[in-house]
Amino acid sequence: MDHSKLLIVMVGLPASGKSTLSSKIEQGLAAEDIATKVFNNGDVRREMIKDRDTSIAEFYDPHNPEALALRESIARINMEKARDYLAGPGQVAVLDAANVSRKRRAIIKEFLGQYPIFFVECISQDPELLKASISRKATLPEFAHMCREDATTCFMHRIDYYRSIYQPLTEEDNFVVLDTLDNRILRERVQAVVPYYPLVRDLIVSDWVRNLYVVRHGETQDNVENRIGGDSDLTGKGQAQAQNLAGYFRDLPLPYVFTSTKRRTMQMTQALCAGRTDCRVIQLADLNEIDAGICEGMTYDQIAQTMPAIHEARTRDKYNYVYPEGEGYVTLRERVERGIKKALYLSGNSEHIMIVGHQAVNRMILSHFLYRRPEDVPYIFIPQDRYYHIVSTQNRKVFEMVKFQK
């Protein structure tokens, strides 16, 4: 067995994050000068079958003998490509496909058994994330002839077919089972020397951000009146800030922009995405501003005058204070981190993504990537005419604030 090479085999249902993770592994290893390439069954399928509709769910029916034979042929071609790559200068090949049956995995082991094999099973258990991921898949070119609803239904049926033959990793010698939203290893077995394993393991459990732009919405009427929370519109100045943001990023591809469900963040993106064909806006409730509970919509002066006990308690410990019937920074952290992970997951490791959020939310996002003492988080500077640019990979860290308003 050639222990200078490694075959990584992805396992998991469609829309479970396999391709995103494969891309991260490829980029991470390449950054360490380890020749790595992803071999995706879907790419082979789309290249081979241009005149046949493989978007219909029945193509993935395990009881459809004609389609099954064709899919087996596609898998074999992809394995041959990976084998040829490893036989040459390639050091790591990643087989990106469902590989959900033990039979398929046994074929892979027989065909490529001269190399160490490491299986990575991807699991995504968040219903909202699955729904958003399927919605994204439904926009692929292979579904262009369908309406969005039909494409979504078709893709869900495809998942059901794969689920009907799903056999989790249990008998394989070397594997990890990964929660792809939290980058958390659920099960792990490594019974042999796996080349590059320490680096691969670090990659699969780490957030991977190539270029993240964290922006606060522009000025609102509630900002002018110093009111907490609410759902007010941008002011004229806020609209001008939105235009300045759009002008600054005009020439930069932005395939994904994530916002809260509040009007002010959506309005901030309108000029940014106007006329773009590469820009998709996804709303995430996890990115909504802190809920001030009974103080929602009040000014800080009103709180000090009518609820002095609340004002005093929050002044003493702003991070740990929780508004009655609402939230605090300490309780906000969990959902904001969930929102960050959803954004990174759904963006599919895109080179550039943006989050348009709120003051408290953006403070939590920044503290996720840059260590700050909890008591200092509520005081991180979050202006409305600048953005934070974040890069966080294994070999590069960038954290900078940039002014976009002229």
Domain positions in the chain: 6-204, 209-403
* pLDDT at residue 217, as a whole number: 97
Instruction: Please answer whether residues 37 and 85 qualify as being in contact, where contact means their C-beta atoms are separated by less than 8 angstroms.
Output: yes
C-alpha angle 152-156-159 in degrees, rounded to nearest 5: 145
Q: Which of 134-138, 158-162, 222-226 has the lowest mean pLDDT?
A: 134-138
- 139-148, 295-304, 353-362: lowest mean pLDDT where? 139-148
Q: What is the average per-residue pLDDT within 366-378?
A: 90
| Predicted local distance difference test score (pLDDT) of residue 148 | 80
Greater confidence (342 vs 120) lies with: 120
- How much is the average pLDDT of 289-314? 95
The pLDDT of residue 396: 87
Distances (CA, A) of 254 to 246, 276, 283: 11, 9, 15
For 6-204, the fitting CATH number among 3.40.50.150, 3.40.50.300, 3.40.630.30, 3.40.630.40 is 3.40.50.300
Question: Average per-residue pLDDT in the chain?
Answer: 92
CATH number of 209-403: 3.40.50.1240
Amino acid (one-letter) located at 94: V
**Alpha carbons 125 and 127: distance in angstroms, whole number:** 6
CA distance 99 to 132: 23
pLDDT digits (tens, 9 = 90+) for 72-94: 999 999 999 999 999 999 999 99
Whether the pLDDT of residue 372 is over 90: the answer is no
Q: What is the mean pLDDT of residues 302-315?
A: 94
Q: Quick one: average pLDDT of 164-189?
A: 93
**E-assigned strands of 161-255?**
174-179, 184-190, 209-216
Split at pLDDT 50, 70, 90, the class of 52 is low
Per the model's pLDDT, the better-predicted residue between 51 and 105 turns out to be 105
6-204 with 209-403: one CATH topology? yes
8-12, 207-211, 264-268, 311-315: least confident range? 207-211
- Residue 51 pLDDT exceeds 60: no
At 387 the pLDDT is 97
Mean pLDDT calculated for residue range 131-151: 79
Residues with a catalytic annotation lie at 216-217, 223, 264, 289, 358
Euclidean distance between CA atoms 273 and 249, whole angstroms: 10
pLDDT of residue 268: 97
CA distance 264 to 115: 54
Q: How far apart are CA 118 and CA 210, in angstroms?
A: 26
Does pLDDT of 50 surpass 90?
Answer: no
Q: Check: pTM over 0.75? Answer yes or no.
A: yes
